[in-house]
Amino acid sequence: MRRLRRHDLVWLRAGAAVTLAACSAAAAADVEAWRRAGRPLVCARSDALPTERVRLGLTLPGTGVRRRVSLTAARADVERSTPPPPLASLLDALPAAHRPSLHAFAERCTALGITPRVYGSLLWQSLSGKPCLRDDSDLDLLFDLEDPAPLPALLALLRHADGALRLDGEIRCGVHAVAWRELAAALDGSSPRRVLAKSDDGIVLIDVGDLWPARSCAA
């Protein structure tokens, strides 16, 4: 089985037991209905969870107050998993007015050898078939960069993205993921060089120079 990473889509085997966090107990019926429909959950940060367990999440569909559900399951009950879907595959789920600019953005990323992947409200909208994007919603994107070479060009694309939908999200630098705006500010000197970095296991403050060991990520 492939290694599970934050934001991965995760399908559990039918009948697998899950344990809901205390704050999510009221959503048990919603989680059961979601799974019966064959829809995936999303892999979350494991933190101090035992290695035989996996932490998963679900944001119930709707455009009102976000109803986020946290639960755990046995790692052995994971039937399959995939990375989050590419932006290019979800353009039709966006309002028509946003599609041309985001299609162009996805193509420019592809030219850099980068595949922007979707999480957040657009993901839940595409999975549920119900409205989740609000007028004030951001578009959450994940960019995996094993090598920092394309980083300056990617940050330039993000800074100058033209469209009404605000682009948010993370750049994953191998192990750690950093909010792209925070990373850009740290690199241009407008904020401290230590950034909040999320791994699959926890959160640390790390100098931007250490995101890609033995490599430069100067922009």
47 has catalytic annotation: no
Distance CA 56, CA 6 (A): 9
Strand partners, 196: 205
The count of other CB atoms within 10 Å of the CB of residue 105 is 23
Residue 36, C-beta contacts closer than 8 angstroms, at least 6 positions apart: none
Q: Per the residue annotation, which of 30, 77, 138, 210 is the catalytic one?
A: 138
140 has catalytic annotation: yes
Of 42, 47, 22, whose CA–CA distance to 85 is shortest?
42
Q: Per the residue annotation, which of 47, 77, 135, 140 is the catalytic one?
A: 140
* Helical axes 99-111 vs 151-159, angle rounded to 10°: 170
Q: List, by residue number, the catalytic residues.
A: 138, 140
